[in-house]
Structure 1
Amino acid sequence: ALKHKKQHHLPHPFLKGKNIALIFEKPSTRTRAAFSVAAHDLGAHVDYYEKGDIHLGVKESIADTAQVFGRMYDGIEFRGYHQSDVEELSQHSGVPVWNGLTNEWHPTQMIADFMTIKEHFGALENRTLTYVGDASNNVAHDLLVTGAILGVNIHIAAPENLQPHPDVQTIAHQYAEQSGGNIMITENVQQAVYHTDILYTDVWVSMGTDESEWGTRIENMLPYQINDTLLVQADNPDLIVMHCLPAFHNLE
């Protein structure tokens, strides 16, 4: 309904009179744009705070910042480093807190991705999503766990040293047992992509990776590149390719 209203330029100020704080310790293009545009479309006012604007956890405790913002704002978006920080904001603010990304997770990306998959295919049931590349990052972790919760089959192809953290794998397997989803984690990219419905990848070099490691990382990741050969190996004419961006063209 909201998408229809936006596409047809119909007003939908369901959050008129509300104020939302956007706290960005890490820079962003899509996350900031998405939250800002969505809030304005819904009639809310947005204030943007980057790392140098406030003293979050440095000169002022996260709990104190949360309590102050909770009195002034109706909701808080946080994009930063530590999962514990966003959880502490939620604990002490008394208002909704949205996780725009932490080192560990990226849940708002998951909402967008799985809504897109459902919209494209009509349903999530019996679909297989295969992630290829660096699977040690927050997006891969969240795809694995969210897919398991939703009953989507999740295949991951990555070098052994870049596979999801064992704790994350344990969480995902527990959810998959309940939902009926299938999980495959392997170094064998051909096995992982066969008959998949969605091929998903991310940057091979994440924010914070030392530049001296880039060359070796890229060389090790080349077998996991999404290219014409990999699409043929998937053997599914209805396959779609997804990337959370930003992307290095002609690499991943």
Structure 2
Amino acid sequence: MNFYNYHLINDFSIKKYELFSLNEIKLKKKFFSFFKNKICIINEKQSLRTINTLINSFNYLNIKYTIINNKHNFKKENIKDFSKTLGILYDYVFFRGYNDIILKIIAKFSGLVLINMLSNGYHPIQSINDSFLIKNKIIFFFGDFNSNVFRSMIINLSKLNNFLLIIISPKIYWNYIFLKKIFTKKKIILSEKIIILKKKINIYNDVWFSMGENNFKKKINNLINFQINKKIIKILKIEKIYHCLPSYKKNFFLKLKNLEIEENVFESNFHNFDKQIIEKIFIIKSFFIISENNFFKI
């Protein structure tokens, strides 16, 4: 990938220098564009923050776009035909959906540029931004190791220097094949127990249920001891807590008040969620600036 008319389907396609290029442009926060391409947003998995962040960027740059909110039945529809139709109508598609395989088929047969806004496997826009917010920090990941945003974050953090990544997760979720593919020299620590350090740490958290999961009872039994709560706050020296928003306040099936993070912790001064949202706007704007392959005085 070199940003110019290439898909962004997952985080493996982003090179280290591209990560830094996006962040460098984002930090300058000065943008203008002569963007003339036809853009479509396919919002298969409904979202408040991700899609509205994208729309905010479009409006700022005076970019026209179309939103498709209906859910396509890919079991009945011919996906190749669907992909070619998109390619005829649009130049860019921002797809927030459930299936990585669908994304790959669209990328192959549409002839347009496809940007993954979230899928069952990856969450690149979120991770590109957040990886720079916690760069050079000691990071504790709590919860399901196989979360899409965890996977994306780990890939991008492995490209950055001087960090310590500690994953606190049930052993049944550890993915050794994935880790060996990414970490050849850099060290990563996996543990089922909390590791207490003298230094300040940053916590990264994600929802326990996503992308159509429905086996609530089994997963909660596996993860309930990995919740971010008052006990964690007391035993760890926490600098900031990051969360792939939103946090679910209640599980209506099991009548639990809190899942991955207690509400009082989520709303405490430890959170850095406002910055996550604001900075993601600038990352998306940066993507447009750099993908246009034009020379701007920024």
- TM-score (ref. length: structure 2): 0.66
CA distance in 2, matches of 1:93, 1:102: 18
The structure with the largest helix share of the pair is 1
* Cα drift, residue 2 of structure 1: 6.0
Contact kept, 8 Å, 1:22 with 1:46, in 2: the verdict is yes
Are 2:41 and 1:22 equivalent residues in the alignment? Answer: yes
1:55: how far off?
5.8
Greater RCO, CA 8 A, separation 6+: 2
Whether the aligned pair in 1 keeps the contact of 2:204 and 2:241 (CA below 8 Å) is yes
Give the direction of change, closer, same or farther, for the CA distance of 1:33–1:3 in structure 2 (3 Å limit): farther
The offset of 1:185, in angstroms, is 1.3
Unaligned runs of 5+ in 1: 7-11, 118-123
Cα shift at 1:45 = 1.2
CA apart distance, 1:76: 0.9
Q: Residue 153 of structure 1 is aligned with which of 156, 164, 167?
A: 164
Matches within 5 A, 1:1-252: 12-52=31-71, 54=72, 58-62=76-80, 64-117=81-134, 124-125=135-136, 127-151=137-161, 152-163=163-174, 165-174=175-184, 177=185, 181-191=186-196, 195=199, 197-210=201-214, 213-236=215-238, 239-249=239-249, 250-252=258-260
- What RMSD, in angstroms, separates the aligned Cα atoms of the two structures? 2.7
Q: Aligned residue pairs: how many?
A: 227
Instruction: Structure 2: state its 5+ residue gaps.
Output: 1-24, 250-257, 261-298
Q: Is the 8 A contact 1:25 1:51 kept in 2?
A: yes
Kept after mapping to 2: 8 A contact 1:99/1:107: yes
The DSSP-based 3-state class of the residue aligned with 2:245 is coil
Is the 1:130–1:196 Cα contact (8 Å) retained in structure 2? no
How far apart are 1:217 and its partner, in Å?
Answer: 3.4
How many percent of aligned residue pairs carry the same amino acid? 25
Scaled by the length of structure 1, the TM-score of the pair is 0.77
Shift in CA distance, 194/230, structure 1 to aligned 2, threshold 3 Å: farther
Query: Cα gap change, 1:57/1:42 in structure 2, threshold over 3 Å: closer, same or farther?
Result: farther
Q: Structure 2: which amino acid aligns with 1:201? A: N
